[in-house]
Structure formats: C-alpha cells, structure tokens
C-alpha cells in the first residue's frame, strides 16, 4: 500500500487505488477497490480546509438517514499525512455522468429524471438546519450584496439588470424570519450520475467530482 494512504483506517484492505482526474475543486480524488470487493470514493484536501470539509461530511451524514435518497454513503472522516491533510471516505456508485447522458435521451426520459431530481431535492429541504445558524436574511443578503457588487464592477452591462436589481432591493424584507433547511448548494447535472436503468443518482458526493 502506498505510504500516502497507509495511515488511514482500513487502508490495508485496499487492493487498488486510482486517482480521478475530474472536477474543479482542489481536492484529490481516488477510486478504491478493496480486497473484499467493495468500491469506495476517497477525497483529500489540505488541512486549512478542515472546518469546511467537516461541515460537508456532517451534512452528508444527515442525508444518510433520509429514506429512498440515492447517493454515496459517508463512511469515515479524519486527518492524515501527519496532520497536513483531511480526508473523507464514501461508498462508490457506478454510473455515467448525467451531463453526458441526458442529451442522448428522449424528452420523456429527461423529464422523468427531472422529476426524480426534484423529489430528491424536496427530501433534502425537509431537513432542518442547525439552530445556531446565522439568520437567513443576514446570510442571503450578504450573498446578494456580493453578487451585485461583482456585477457592477465587471464592466459588462446586461439588458434588464437595473430592473432586476430594483426588484431585489424592494423585496429583501421577505427574507426576514424565514425558516432554514438543508441546502445542497451545487445542484446540477454535473454533480449527478445515471445508472444503466436510467435512474438518477443525486449525489452531493456520489461521484461528485466538483
């Protein structure tokens, strides 16, 4: 076993480790086969991202208890490489990238996958956020402010932008005192896979290579 993984629990049972060269994040990603026939997904990041990766793993753990939500399952989270890296280990689900397969399907098949995606997202939204979360108005207004500032500074005017910004400003009050639930945050076909049976796997991390 490569020394890179030797200190991880259960690594002695890994018969094959293959790096995955996809995605936009700085995470290192690996496809793993074990001596007892299991397939796993390993994600590794620099230790400076520990808090973020811990929150992500905890979020996926919450989803793990949702019935009929098809996704990779969280297995382990920890620190490795003498405290220099953080890792997350998940089950692997074999399938094809949705963004590649969907254009080849019929309109009816695409619609059915969209229904599946909507049903999965609805189940996620039924999970309540932690009580100590920043109020939604404060959180989302900060995001809106960033977007508007970035738009105004980019130098590329868009038709109708002034009307859109005016609408946003007039309706910010609707964000006050809103209940908060789990939010996926990156819900698109680039983070989904499709099984051979044309069943959509909505991941968060199931072969989520972003």
For residue range 132-185, what is the model confidence (pLDDT) as tens digits?
A: 778 999 999 999 999 999 999 999 999 999 999 999 999 999 999 998 888 777
For residue range 55-67, what is the model confidence (pLDDT) as tens digits?
A: 889 888 888 777 7
Do residues 77 and 88 touch, judged by C-beta distance below 8 A?
Answer: yes
Do residues 10 and 1 touch, judged by C-beta distance below 8 A?
Answer: no
| pTM score | 0.74
Q: Quick one: angle between helices 161-171 and 136-154, nearest 10?
A: 160
For residue range 10-27, what is the model confidence (pLDDT) as tens digits?
A: 888 899 999 988 766 788
**CA of 20: how far to CAs of 24, 51, 61, 124, 206, in Å?**
12, 24, 23, 27, 13
Half-sphere exposure of 164 (CA within 13 A, CB side): 10
């Amino acid at each position: 076993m490569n020394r890179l993984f030797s200190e991880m629990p259960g690594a002695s049972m890994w018969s094959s480790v293959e790096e995955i060269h996809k995605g936009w994040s700085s995470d290192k990603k690996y496809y793993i086969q074990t001596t007892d026939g299991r397939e796993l997904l390993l994600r590794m990041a620099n230790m400076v991202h520990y808090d973020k990766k811990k929150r992500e793993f905890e979020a996926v753990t919450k989803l793990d208890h949702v019935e009929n939500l098809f996704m990779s399952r969280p297995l382990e989270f920890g620190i490795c490489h003498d405290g220099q890296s953080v890792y997350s280990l998940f089950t692997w689900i074999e399938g094809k990238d949705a963004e590649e397969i969907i254009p080849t399907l019929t309109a009816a098949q695409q619609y059915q996958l969209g229904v599946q995606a909507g049903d999965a997202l609805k189940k996620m939204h039924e999970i309540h956020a932690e009580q100590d979360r920043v109020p939604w108005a404060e959180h989302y207004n900060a995001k809106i402010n960033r977007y508007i500032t970035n738009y105004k500074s980019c130098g590329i005017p868009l038709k109708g932008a002034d009307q859109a910004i005016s609408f946003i400003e007039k309706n910010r009050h609707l964000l006050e005192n809103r209940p908060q639930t789990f939010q996926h945050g990156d819900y698109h076909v680039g983070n989904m896979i499709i099984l051979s049976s044309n069943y959509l796997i909505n991941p968060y991390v199931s072969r989520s290579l972003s």
